């Protein structure tokens, strides 16, 4: 099993106001983080996701490369979701 650490963050509020006209006034980070973890856990290449704050530990199938996992998660950080959570980094755990 390959293990990766995904770091996320809330977007800066001034950026949300400027770029995300339909974004809620106050972002419920817990709701979006829980949803993100559930979505990633639903990927066929992922076995398990644990979350601690804005950091997700992802256990993926053996042989899954960092780039492959990142590509699979890309939709979760675009479109409307871009206004609620931002991708910071995805790193393999040695």
- Domain-wise residue ranges, the chain: 2-92
Its CATH architecture, for the domain 2-92, is 2-Layer Sandwich (3.30)
**H helix intervals, 12-65:** 13-19, 29-41
Inter-residue contact 72 to 43 (CB < 8 Å) = yes
> For the chain (length 94 residues), average pLDDT per consecutive 10?
94 69 67 94 97 97 96 90 86 92
Count each helix (H run) and each strand (E run) in the chain, helices first: 3, 4
Angle CA(89)–CA(61)–CA(9) in degrees, nearest 5? 20
What's the confidence (pLDDT) of residue 26? Answer: 62
Cα 94 to Cα 43: distance, rounded to the nearest angstrom? 22
């Amino acid at each position: 099993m390959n293990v990766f650490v995904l770091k996320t963050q809330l977007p800066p509020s001034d950026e949300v106001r400027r770029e995300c006209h339909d974004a809620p006034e106050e972002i419920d980070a817990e709701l979006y983080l829980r949803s993100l973890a559930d979505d990633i856990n639903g990927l066929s290449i992922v076995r398990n996701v644990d979350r601690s704050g804005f950091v997700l530990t992802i256990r993926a199938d053996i042989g899954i490369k960092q780039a492959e996992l990142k590509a699979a998660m890309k939709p979760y950080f675009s479109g409307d979701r871009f206004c609620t959570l931002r991708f910071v980094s995805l790193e393999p755990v040695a």
